[in-house]
Amino acid sequence: MRLTLAGGLMLLAGAALAQDAPLVAEDFVALFTSYCLQKFPDDGALAAQAVSDKLEALSPAQVKTIEGKPDGMGWMVTRAGVPYLLTIEQSSLHSCVLRRASDTALDGAPLIAAAKSFVEAGGHKLMPPVAFARPMAGGLVSNSITLQELDEKDKPLPRAYMFFVVSHPPALRADGSLAKAFYEIRFMRQMYRQQT
């Protein structure tokens, strides 16, 4: 039963990577561009921009709950009534992540196009996308697309862009009612820190 459910959710979540899914909103692209492309990996500059924009800072405990790691920073930002979470992971995988919840699977093509334009402006390019689907605990399914950055000589760099669609099945609330299924939509710019 559980394998059947996971398989069904994988097919459902896979729709998020299909071209017939609704595109992510322009606000998603604008926020990612403003913070994760124009400011990151300068965490200080990104944090200063968040303060200037009066974003609501997340507590360290909230960031740990979201990222699963004790380090990092995060903010809540709302655009057109839609809440987004902006986080920075500061471990060996230095990442800037923007995420939101959605009732429907969304296509990340506009986010990928923004990342592509950004790296090409610096004389680099992105490798063809690599897609991956992974069943997770609790019936969740993570679908991802990874695009590694190449330098001007087509040499892989320790940098990547990742689009995730994580499907969350209906969940039982404490009061016995059933919460509806939803998708976590996430786009990430990741830079691997060099070991010294």
pLDDT for 102 beyond 60: yes
pLDDT category, 15, cuts 50, 70, 90?
very low
Structural contact between residues 38 and 45, judged by C-beta atoms closer than 8 angstroms: no
The whole-chain average pLDDT of the chain stands at 87
Lowest mean pLDDT among 51-55, 89-93, 155-159, 170-174: 89-93
Task: Work out the average pLDDT over 158-174.
Answer: 92
pLDDT above 60 for 70: yes
At residue 2 the predicted structure's pLDDT band, cuts being 50, 70 and 90, is very low
Q: pLDDT band at residue 39, thresholds of 50, 70 and 90?
A: very high
* Cβ neighbours, 10 Å, residue 92: 10
Checking if the pLDDT of 11 tops 80, the result is no
- Interior angle at CA 65, CA 5 and CA 129, nearest 5: 60
How confident is residue 69, by pLDDT bands cut at 50, 70 and 90? confident
CA torsion angle 69 71 72 73 (round to 10): 100
| pLDDT bucket at 193, cuts 50 / 70 / 90 | low
pLDDT tens per residue, range 18-28: 457 899 999 99
Cα 119 to Cα 111: distance, rounded to the nearest angstrom:
13
Token pair for 146: 């990874």
